[in-house]
Amino acid sequence: MSLRVESPGLFSLPVGLGRPGRRALGVPAGGAADRAAHTLANALLGNRPEAVTLEVTLAGPTLTADAPTACVVFGAPFELAVAGRAPPTAGTTFTLRRGETLRILGTPAGVRGTLAVSGGFRSAPELLRAGDLLDCEPSTAAGRALPFVSLRPPGDVTLRVLPGAQADWFEPGALEARRFTVAAASNRMGVRLLGDPLPRGAGRRASEMASEPVAAGAVQVANDGAPIVLGVDGQTIGGYPRPAHVVRADLDRLAQLRPGDGVRFRAVTVIEAEQAARAAAAELADWCRRLAWAG
């Protein structure tokens, strides 16, 4: 059984939890950009965290079911439509009946949503095209929901950061003192930021550096002074200096930045970063346990 792709949307990509342990081979981690959304979408349907979902970006696909299919869209609050009935709600499970067509429209906030189906997608192309078939199990679902799929509070997004490998190339506090805007050219490889250029400190303006290993969350500063924050598909080696690195707990927040969003950085200590990571992991695990118990 399958969902037939009538229209692929802007950028619809089957994802899992990525490719750990392969960065030494030059392979980016990949996987879901918003891992919490991916994990919770799967948990709502009783799937394991590694089950394959469909990541949708800004404008989602149109899909027709050839058998009953239990679905949920989680993450950014996408508008959904199914002809002939009340529209499903993002964050709430529903059954797409045989012959029905689901349209995943736009979202007023955030960038990415996760479409999960019961059992996960068994096979899927790397990028969707019209006519593709997304293989999945026939299934049904009672309505279950999580309460925190909603518009994020208005205002700038603050990303917590640790010092990067070349923090001493820049004036102390210069990154944190600036406000940036997310550029339209941002993608899964990196979030490009617009704003006042971040100049290098005296004595470093003409410095060159050898390329070094980098990872998702690295804040690189290009030669024009514009920061680029690497995402899950970012390269494994980079040659731009890094004044900072976004903490693990904020990487999912990075994945939901949309063009025009305001961004600020806030420096934290290693202890604070570790505490934030443990708290985020514990909250995610707690929600997964609640959903498993309720199911």
pLDDT band at 153 (very low <50, low <70, confident <90, very high): low
pLDDT at 150 over 60: no
pLDDT for 223-238, tens place per residue? Answer: 899 999 999 999 999 9
What's the confidence (pLDDT) of residue 30? Answer: 87
pTM for the structure as a whole: 0.93
Q: What is the mean pLDDT of residues 207-226?
A: 90
pLDDT for 99-136, tens place per residue? Answer: 999 999 999 989 999 999 999 999 766 778 899 999 99
Q: Which two tokens stand for residue 23?
A: 């960065």
CA 259 – CA 232 distance, rounded (Å): 18
pLDDT at 181 over 70: yes
DSSP β-ladder status, 2-7 and 13-15: unpaired
Mean model confidence pLDDT for the chain = 91
What fold characterizes domain 2-135? Jelly Rolls (2.60.120)
pLDDT at 250 over 70: yes
Domain boundaries, the chain: 2-135, 157-275
What's the confidence (pLDDT) of residue 294? Answer: 67
Q: What is the mean pLDDT of residues 12-37?
A: 86
What's the confidence (pLDDT) of residue 146? Answer: 87
Angle between helices 35-44 and 270-294 (to 10 degrees): 20
Q: What is the mean pLDDT of residues 253-280?
A: 96
% of residues, the chain, pLDDT over 70: 94
Give me the amino acid identity at 149. V
Exposed/middle/buried for 71, CB within 10 Å: 0-12, 13-18, 19+?
Answer: buried
What's the confidence (pLDDT) of residue 124? Answer: 66
CATH superfamily entry for domain 157-275: Cyclophilin-like (2.40.100.10)
Distances (CA, A) of 140 to 37, 176, 215: 21, 49, 39
What's the confidence (pLDDT) of residue 205? Answer: 63
pLDDT band at 142 (very low <50, low <70, confident <90, very high): confident
Q: What is the mean pLDDT of residues 148-177?
A: 86
